[in-house]
Amino acid sequence: MYTKIAQITDLHLLTPGEPLMGLSVLDRFKQVLEHSRSFEPDAYFLTGDFCAHDPVQEVYHQLRSLLDELQKPYYLTPGNHDDRAMMRNAFFLEGHEQQPIKGLVKVNERYFIFLDSSAGIVDKEQLGWLTKALGQYPQSDIVIHHPPMKMGVSFMDEKYPLKETEKLLSILRADGRHRRIFCGHYHTGRMMTHQNMSIHLCPPTSFFINPDADSFEQEFLPPAYLRLSWDEEGNFRSIPTYVI
């Protein structure tokens, strides 16, 4: 069965629709949502950093209202600028307020393991759960805010990488099967392979970071998202899509 997913990340929304770094981040997000309709995805994956600075409950309620208008299934994982309790309140997610928001998602015949890296690590409980899920769902891919390793983006690699990555990577290497990892966080688009993994960085709807600069440098590009698709034979395509 043909499967299409729109991945959207790093919205960095303020309330009530305030600009960020000279950008109308709310309008940029809305432009991506509108553009994605023509793709006709089976589902939307939103990979974190929904708030710009400190989490704001109103932002999550506004986000839910916009996503509900799509009339498509959508699934979320938090980023380092998000608050688990606020997300649970807005989206009626199960679990205790500050427990990691993890889960298994099925879209058509494909399975996706959602991990929570909002604390800057993937904790021991999630790692144990991941090990079991990989064995139970051998063809599954992974959705997470942070990439599981450095991506050759100097500023983000140095300042804001995922911590204790070796524990996560060792589980994925030991599994041996090819796994796609869909993530964001780096404010740029990039794909990298590492042993049995392919890591897909989704470009942001908000501001971009120059991947070649050693210090923070804003890059002025239009809002973007990833179009992910699998055909009936399982052939995969990932297309960074910029909304001009």
As beta bridge partners, residue 191 has 200
d(CA 235, CA 232): 7
The pLDDT score that the predictor gives to residue 197 is: 98
pLDDT in tens, 128-170: 999 999 999 999 999 999 999 999 999 999 999 999 999 999 9
The overall pTM is greater than 0.95 = yes
The pLDDT score that the predictor gives to residue 96 is: 87
Going by pLDDT thresholds of 50, 70 and 90, the confidence category of residue 15 is: confident
Give the number of domains in the chain. Answer: 1
Q: Residue 100 sits in which domain range?
A: 3-242
179: its two tokens: 């796994």
The pLDDT score that the predictor gives to residue 116 is: 99
Mean pLDDT of 101-112: 98
Phi first, then psi, for residue 176 (nearest 5°) are 85, -25
Asked if 183 and 114 count as a contact pair (C-beta separation under 8 A), the reply is no
DSSP state of 38: G
Asked if 76 and 144 count as a contact pair (C-beta separation under 8 A), the reply is no
Residue 48 maps to which CATH number?
3.60.21.10
